[in-house]
Amino acid sequence: MPPRNETPTPSDRPRRLTAAAVLTALEGAVVAAFGVVSLVKLVTDKPDGMVQAVTMALTVLALSVLPLAAARGLWLRRRWSRGPSMIVQLIALPAGYQMAQNGGVWTAGGIVIALTGVVVLGCLINPTATEALGIGPRDA
């Protein structure tokens, strides 16, 4: 493992940890995109409840910070990043299930969200990923 002040190279990072970082970053980017779209709609559509619409858009943007920060931490192999990423995935599972119950295109979106959550959780509990993050058997 490289010293803390050096950025690990891709060859130092296990593939599972890289996959978890990339997927978590994609989740954060999608949430951020929804927040930006909501802000754009504020300008173009003039909603009935402006305060409620602004609050919702800013909340969604704030919610994108957790997965993006966790993804960066995973990419840099920071021990603290595993917990926030796992929390995001545990929230994604019931959200994906609920979306899948709505039918149509929501079903496909819900399945993608839930499967992404399962894949990232699987990557994060893998021993090679936990070792790369500096989490030993007793620390897990």
Q: What is the mean pLDDT of each run of 10 residues along the chain (140 residues)?
A: 55 91 97 93 85 91 96 96 96 94 91 96 95 78
CB 56 within 8 A of CB 98: no
- CA dist 27 and 21 (Å) reads 10
- CA dist 119 and 89 (Å) reads 9
The pLDDT value given to residue 104: 87
Q: How many CB atoms lie within 10 A of CB 127?
A: 12
Q: Which of 18, 5, 6 is nearest to 132 (CA)?
A: 18
Kindly state the tokens that stand for 67.
């997965």
